[in-house]
Amino acid sequence: MFRKRDDEPDYARIPRVQAPDRNQYGKALNLLGEDDALAGKSLNINGDDRVYEGPDRYRQHGFYFNADNCIACHACESACSEKNDLPPHLAFRSVGYVEGGTWPAYARLNISMACNHCDDPVCLKGCPTRAYTKFAEYGAVLQDPDICFGCGYCTWVCPYNAPQLDPVAGHVQKCNMCVDRLEQGLKPACAAACLGGALDFGVIETTPRNRDQLETRIPGFPDPEITHPNIRFQQTRTLPREMTRPDSTPVRYERDAQGAGPFHTRVRDTGTTRRAGLNGLRSREDPLVVFTLITQAVVGAFLTLFLGPLFGLDVLSPAKHPVAYPALLFALLGLETFALVLSTLHLGKPHRFYRAFNNLRYSPVSREVASLAVFYNFLSAYTLIGAFPGLFAWLPDDWVRGAALATGWGAAITGPAALYFMSRIYRIAARPFWDHWQVLTAFYGNMLALGPLLAGLPLAVALHLQGQSWATFLSTLALPVIAGLGLEAIGLLAHARDMRRRGGEGAAAHHQQVTTFGWIYRARNVTLALAIAFVAVLAIVSPDGPSGLALWAFAALLIVAAAVTGRALFYVLVIPTTMPGAFFWKNPGFQEHARTTGLADMPQTGLVADTH
């Protein structure tokens, strides 16, 4: 347990002050009733089971940041890293800045930010493993690295960049509010270390000595409505109307009138001449590109196989292909297994994969994984029953038929449901570029476009080899393919329009899409349009013979190329509503530069390989 200094100065102690009953979001500051069963318990910090009963132990605490005073001396970050024994590539607290004006009427606003121990902790809700807990003690949101399996989803949903995914250790860690210091009546290490008179700490909604404001916003800080963060600000110095960030993120902040109103996030035209190459599409989320596309194709292919006969496509009935049909099902199962293994290896700690189901109540990740698991099991059962009828010969025929029907329908329902939950994963307020219904149209669009081709083309080849006609069959399957591509296209059009209209980080990401990634973006759009036209022509012309097959294969190639490029863009482009960085630290542009030029190979650069 933490032991305080014998000569601990006053500034390090949390003062006792009057606080209101409710915070600015209407929530009670008292987190427990007087005789609540949770009261009077030890936090068991590092095995110390003593109970430290401070006067405000069950009230929500939070940081206070006086933006007028921060000098970016890094004392808070360093005190934090020293206390928590963090390697250079991690930081629970970071200082970035925004700046504006014209020399010498220049102003720089430094912002020191860690976890805000929010009223509505999106990290906690998003975490599939339930590694997070919001404690009644001080309202601290604590994360347990021993539970975490390193999916990094909390780092996606947090608007403040508080959870830190450690690529070396393979798990997330974050600010623990220094609850060990709080139990001793001391402010967290960062607040006690502050040299500028900027960072402070106490019961939320209380103003430190010599401070006036209790603001919930300052320029550069994300919309507090996302999580109701427990941080309050003072910012009284007049700022220029426009503030920019020193990092490579193409956003700036602008208010409508000088000296009045909130700052809005706007696109910053970096005027860069740099154009991303295809390598720019690579990211640590590459496994997710493969995982999502395969899963969507597999669900679509299964739907094609299972529902086809219902729509009069007798060609697709299992009886017609005693070998090809089960082989195809096994292939789908194999593909999906591969996709699932890939997504599991994407975890920092793959051996903890089973924890993915732990938070069905809140986490879209848990729900996706659970529904996908159910789909996978139905698909397996359906495949087994269809492929090895002999295995089930001892059962009454009706039962076997019933089981096949039940598992088939089970997979047909849970598959699309899993894709719906998959799309919910990306509906993150802190990632505006993703937070759009286009995610759903893209996922279902890919299901409709890729699935029928994945099921239909091998069968067409099989038919061809048996000397049977397959042209009409593929022309029929072209309908869902065109529908899927159309759905995706409509989503993309609406997405582009809405991103521009909404402004902020979404617009900035879209701006990157049409500038830095402009040629790739356009190539994808053209490919998509071409694919729609090409498939339509094929459907009408219904070519036959080997050349017909080649034409269909080419159409599939176009569709896959558009899908992979589009999905890669989706992951690469997103700009979170995180805090501004500095010129080096937390600057994605510099980090990329350091990694490509080898500077990052020196450990003291504070960067490690961005693997996952």
87 binds other proteins (CB under 8 A): yes
269 binds other proteins (CB under 8 A): no
Q: How far apart are the first and last CA of the chain?
A: 33
- Judged by CB under 8 A, which of 14, 113, 124, 329 binds other proteins? 124
Euclidean distance between CA atoms 73 and 94, whole angstroms: 11
Query: Given the rule CB under 8 A, which of 335-343, 384-392, 470-478, 586-594 is the region that contacts other proteins?
Result: 586-594
Structure tokens at 363: 């986490």
Query: Given the rule CB under 8 A, which of 123-131, 228-236, 249-257, 569-577 is the region that contacts other proteins?
Result: 123-131
609 binds other proteins (CB under 8 A): no
Residue (115 or 142) nearer to other proteins, CB:
142
Which residues, numbered 344-373, are part of the site for other proteins (CB under 8 A)? 362
- Judged by CB under 8 A, which of 17, 28, 51, 195 binds other proteins? 195
CB atoms within 10 A of CB 9: 8
Give me the least distance between CB of 42 and other proteins, in Å please: 9
- Judged by CB under 8 A, which of 29, 191, 193, 450 binds other proteins? 193
Give me the least distance between CB of 585 and other proteins, in Å please: 5
- Judged by CB under 8 A, which of 30, 99, 223, 374 binds other proteins? 99
Structure tokens at 505: 């980080």
279 binds other proteins (CB under 8 A): no
64 binds other proteins (CB under 8 A): no
506 binds other proteins (CB under 8 A): no
Residue (131 or 419) nearer to other proteins, CB:
131
Which residues, numbered 5-44, are part of the site for other proteins (CB under 8 A)? 5-9, 11-12, 31, 38, 41, 43-44
With H, G, I as helix, E, B as strand and everything else as coil, classify residue 22.
Answer: strand
User: Using alpha carbons only, how large is the chain's radius of gyration in Å?
Assistant: 28
- Judged by CB under 8 A, which of 108, 266, 424, 464 binds other proteins? 108
Give me the least distance between CB of 358 and other proteins, in Å please: 9
102 binds other proteins (CB under 8 A): yes
- Is residue 342 classed exposed, middle or buried when 0-12, 13-18 and 19+ CB atoms within 10 A define those classes? middle
| Nearest residue to 587 via CA among 28, 94, 68, 81 | 94
135 binds other proteins (CB under 8 A): yes
- Judged by CB under 8 A, which of 15, 54, 101, 309 binds other proteins? 101
| Nearest residue to 226 via CA among 418, 79, 25 | 25
Which residues, numbered 147-186, are part of the site for other proteins (CB under 8 A)? 147, 176, 178-180
212 binds other proteins (CB under 8 A): no
Structure tokens at 391: 């295995």
75 binds other proteins (CB under 8 A): yes
The sign of the torsion formed by the CA atoms of 19, 24, 30, 33 equals positive
394 binds other proteins (CB under 8 A): no
| Nearest residue to 477 via CA among 456, 450, 454 | 456
With H, G, I as helix, E, B as strand and everything else as coil, classify residue 65.
Answer: strand
606 binds other proteins (CB under 8 A): yes
Strand partners, 22: 28
Strand partners, 565: none
Here the contacts of 363-368 (C-beta below 8 Å, separation 24 or greater) are 363/125, 363/126, 363/127, 363/128, 363/153, 364/126, 364/421, 364/424, 364/425, 364/427, 365/126, 365/127, 365/128, 365/151, 365/153, 365/425, 366/128, 367/421, 367/424, 368/418, 368/421, 368/422, 368/424, 368/425
Give me the least distance between CB of 112 and other proteins, in Å please: 12
Please give the DSSP secondary-structure letter assigned to residue 99.
Answer: E
Total residues binding other proteins (CB under 8 A): 93
Give me the least distance between CB of 418 and other proteins, in Å please: 25
- Judged by CB under 8 A, which of 61, 134, 228, 355 binds other proteins? 134
